[in-house]
Amino acid sequence: MTAAALSRKLNGHYAIQLIESEEIGIVGVGEATVPHIRYFNRTLGLDEADFMRNTQATFKLGIEFVNWGRIGDRYIHPFGAYGRAINGVDFHHYWLRQRIAGDTAPIGDYSYPVTAGRMGKFTLPSPDPSSVLSTFSYAFQFDANLYGPYLRRYALQRGVVRTEGKVVDVRLRPEDGFIAGVLLQDGNYIEGDLFIDCSGFRGLLIEQALKTGYENWSHWLPCDRAVAVPCKGTQESVAYTRSTAHDAGWQWRIPLQHRVGNGYVFSSRFTTEEQATQTLLSHLEGPALADPRVLRFTTGKRKKAWNKNCVAIGLAGGFLEPLESTSIHLIQLAITYLLEMFPDSSFDAAGIDEYNRIMDLEYERVRDFIILHYHATERADSELWNYCRTMPIPDALQYKMELFRERGHIVKYKDGFFLEPSWLAVYLGQRVMPRRYDPLADKLDAASLQRELANIKTTIHRAVQATPTHAAFIQKYCAAA
Ligand SMILES: Cc1cc2nc3c(=O)[nH]c(=O)nc-3n(C[C@H](O)[C@H](O)[C@H](O)COP(=O)(O)OP(=O)(O)OC[C@H]3O[C@@H](n4cnc5c(N)ncnc54)[C@H](O)[C@@H]3O)c2cc1C
């Protein structure tokens, strides 16, 4: 992603070298994304259908969470709005008012992407703001082992030079400790001005060479392992990722065109790798297509994403676990901010500090949103959930949750990725219910409110009825060979 974006944006002014090792390979399990990836692909000028065909991609309208609030609960966190604001008051306050009056309709009934997802439907959003089809966005689920090479081809066509080989040594400039060059196993020595460390968890340059340090967040996000295995898809294709909570973590199900990606993200404090593998294998919908693979990680981030003349992007910069599919998004943000703060040979400290400040903020906001999922639970059936339910949480999240509990208000962030509907989805989906709603929602008389709610529901239902199935849409739009 980084080499592709830089080759597009820097347009021949800089010589870009991409060093990769086939022997080491990639993590290759990043398969679900968030809608911003569409802007990344568009900036590169990629044709969406071509990209989807080449990566066996499907569409994603959100994530379904199963067993998170209580065993048996399920809700979808959609990429889209619930209802519409009335008289300047957010929709959910009216929904809360109706609920207190005895209406049990779930808030998902007022969301096009939730309803379409549940009914296995998909179509592209409409640019017409008066259409209910303008109220959602979408992302992709794709095979990361195909997306990487797809972007590599793109980068090479735009002048990036790729060197196959293993970096065995990183040499620093004696005068200031900046990186001077990297030595490959075959003796090739590659010098550079700016080094971007995309070496994965090992942080070859940022940590092993520059000793930058790591902020460990595992007291808030205790999962530290994942076991992953693809399987044959046997169910009707749906346009969402599923996350099912188990005793010691949660399992992902990511439907692609050619297979289903599965993994169990768990905490080694509460189960063993063998038990986790058994749990995963016993919850597959079809035959496994490979041997299960265990990955180990520590949730957190590098103390400085940019240190001297090295910027760590991807897993080398940090990892927050894949619950909300945010890692590829954080890569995209890192690339965007790097281009905004692109250095000259002086590597001014102010630009580097600003880059680190904004990346820290992005990581922290994603972190808090993920912690919310673990903390807002009533589950008391296993050690992991007892720990998460009772653990102290970051102050900013505590403040946000208290305000929502008290009056249904969602604290808005100036920066940060997850907007109000996302927080609302998780709060309500995991039983964080406000004590009261915005008093201004009482201005609307009861009959008008009922009419308005019925109208929204019917409009959504009709639109979904007229929407093709996800499988039919893919077949027509982007079926892989
Ligand atoms: C269990 C799990 C599930 C995930 N799910 C998602 C998801 O659903 N959505 C999402 O957005 N993200 C997800 N991620 C994160 C996602 O996989 C990564 O963000 C993404 O794949 C990028 O990884 P990377 O390029 O930073 O590291 P890697 O994939 O590890 O790539 C490292 C690269 O560095 C090269 N390299 C390393 N050492 C050397 C060396 N000595 N010499 C030469 N080359 C070297 C390797 O060859 C490789 O090309 C998940 C991660 C995990 C662990």
Mutate which of 19, 27, 189, 250 to test ligand 1's pocket (most atoms within 8 Å of Cβ)? 27
Mutate which of 315, 330, 366 to test ligand 1's pocket (most atoms within 8 Å of Cβ)? 315
How confident is the model at residue 85, as a pLDDT?
95
State the pairing for strand pair 225-231/260-266.
antiparallel
How confident is the model at residue 378, as a pLDDT?
98
Residue with CA nearest ligand 1 atom 53: 295
C-alpha 27 to ligand 1 mean position (Å): 4
How confident is the model at residue 415, as a pLDDT?
67
For ligand 1, is residue 428 a contact (CB within 6 Å)?
no
C-alpha 306 to ligand 1 mean position (Å): 18
User: Within a 10 A sphere around the Cβ of 292, how many other Cβ atoms?
Assistant: 19
C-alpha distances out from residue 237 to 79, 122, 347, Å: 18, 10, 49
For ligand 1, is residue 29 a contact (CB within 6 Å)?
yes
C-alpha 262 to ligand 1 mean position (Å): 17
Q: How far is CA 11 from the centre of its chain?
A: 29
60 labelled catalytic: yes
For ligand 1, is residue 292 a contact (CB within 6 Å)?
no
For ligand 1, is residue 30 a contact (CB within 6 Å)?
yes
How confident is the model at residue 369, as a pLDDT?
97
User: What ligand 1 atom has the least distance to the C-alpha of 263?
Assistant: 1
How confident is the model at residue 423, as a pLDDT?
97
How confident is the model at residue 417, as a pLDDT?
77
Q: Which of 9, 60, 211, 414 is catalytic?
A: 60
C-alpha 421 to ligand 1 mean position (Å): 29
Residue with CA nearest ligand 1 atom 33: 199
Distance CA 339, CA 357 (A): 15
Distance CA 319, CA 363 (A): 9
Assign residue 355 a region (left: φ > 0; alpha: ψ between -120 and 50; beta: otherwise). Answer: alpha
C-alpha distances out from residue 209 to 57, 182, 185, 199, 343, Å: 37, 10, 17, 12, 21
Mutate which of 17, 162, 196, 198 to test ligand 1's pocket (most atoms within 8 Å of Cβ)? 198
C-alpha 198 to ligand 1 mean position (Å): 8
Distance CA 82, CA 87 (A): 15
| pLDDT mean for each 10 residues of the chain (481 residues) | 97 93 91 97 98 98 98 98 96 97 96 98 97 97 97 97 98 98 98 98 98 98 98 95 98 97 98 98 98 98 98 98 96 98 97 97 96 98 98 97 97 80 97 97 97 97 98 98 85
Distance CA 235, CA 221 (A): 31
